[in-house]
Structure 1
Amino acid sequence: MQRVLKVEDLGLRDYKETWDYQEALFQKILELKKANHKQIAPIKQTPNYFLFVEHPHVYTLGKSGHIENLLIPEEKLKEINATFYKINRGGDITYHGPGQIVGYPILDLENFFTDIHKYMRLLEEMIILTLGEYGLNAMRSKGETGVWLDVGTPFARKICAMGVRASRWVTMHGFALNVNTDLGYFDNMIPCGIKGKAVTSLNVELGRAEIPVEEVKEKLMKHFLHLFDATQIEKTEA
């Protein structure tokens, strides 16, 4: 099985431009799988990608989401330099912005395992292990995808949101880890459609002005490669 990973760091990139790029890679893998299945060309191994990116302020609504969870009128978004998109991942509404690490694994899961539940749990485990390196006891919250702190207490707060799309075992979209994020932007929505739960970031939890983003990315990739038994062939920068 092809467990080699091409890692691309796109830097600060417009959400729609990145979404289009994801879709192009996603369709490329699907088309290759279709050709392999029909054996209309020599069998080729399907590639696996992992995109790191940081987005300008943007709110995205998943296909099962509710627009009511965006708490400001869409016409007010320009005033806060934000955009809004309805997209084709699972989940409800979330926010992306500067200081947040967004990761988009575009994988052919048939190269790894064919289990979406396991895939989501391993993504969560990658975040949990990374935060553990900073001394944080991050965990899952039953029935709520993502990674949290102080689950089961009145102080429960979410530090990483997740939402994916999969077709024929090919994935896209992924996770958003708050590192040095302006948490004020979360006040304009009900995060992931879950009322009464707070949101936090790594720098707030550690009481530091800023956490080196590249350092966090390196830890994330180390744990991803271990959990998925994968190897990294190259890393390209924007």
Structure 2
Amino acid sequence: MFPENILLTAGDEKVAAIGVRASKWITYHGLSVNVTADLTPFDQIVPCGIQDRQVGSIKQLLPKPLSFEGCGNIHFTDYQLVNATYESLMKEFSEVFQVQLCMKPIPWPDYTEGNRSPLTM
């Protein structure tokens, strides 16, 4: 079984995971966070070999609609939710590892109106 500290869970749902591997004196590491993804394909498998947890996302965990005292109801788009998660992770990463991150914007491709992704046929 996996150590509990590599998973971020909410109730019985796995929302994030950290992976580390070493091979031939090279280390590999990664972080995955389910923010807004369609997770229905995970119903067909046992993700990461973890049988006692379902896969969940931040979007699924948030109340609908979000409500903050004095602000009323707030609706986030998927893009806003992914961006807020990204900014929060980068802030916490820089504080924990005491580094200053230099952020560079990456152009967001336009796949609307018939513009197809180069990854699709």
- Pair 1:220 & 2:89 matched: yes
Question: Counterpart of 1:175?
Answer: 31
Question: Scaled by the length of structure 1, what TM-score is found?
Answer: 0.34
Relative to total residues, which structure has the larger strand share, 1 or 2?
1
Secondary structure at the counterpart of residue 172 of structure 1: strand
Q: Which has the higher helix share?
A: 1
Call closer, same or farther: CA 1:234–1:143 in 2, change over 3 Å: closer
Q: Which has the higher contact order (CA 8 A, sep 6+)?
A: 1
Q: 2:52 aligns with which of 184, 192, 196?
A: 196
Q: TM-score if structure 2 supplies the norm length?
A: 0.62
Q: Give the 5 Å matches for 1:121-160.
A: 143-144=3-4, 145-150=6-11, 156-160=12-16
User: Cα RMSD between the aligned structures?
Assistant: 2.5
> Structure 1: any 5+ residue segments left out of the alignment?
1-141, 151-155
Deviations 1:102-135 (A, max 9, x none): xxxxxxxxxxxxxxxxxxxxxxxxxxxxxxxxxx
- Retained in 2: the 8 A contact 1:180–1:210? no
Secondary structure (helix, strand or coil) at the match of 2:9 reads: strand
Total equivalences in the alignment: 92
SS in structure 2 of the partner of residue 220 of structure 1: helix
- Structure 2: 5+ residue runs without aligned partners? 65-75, 108-121
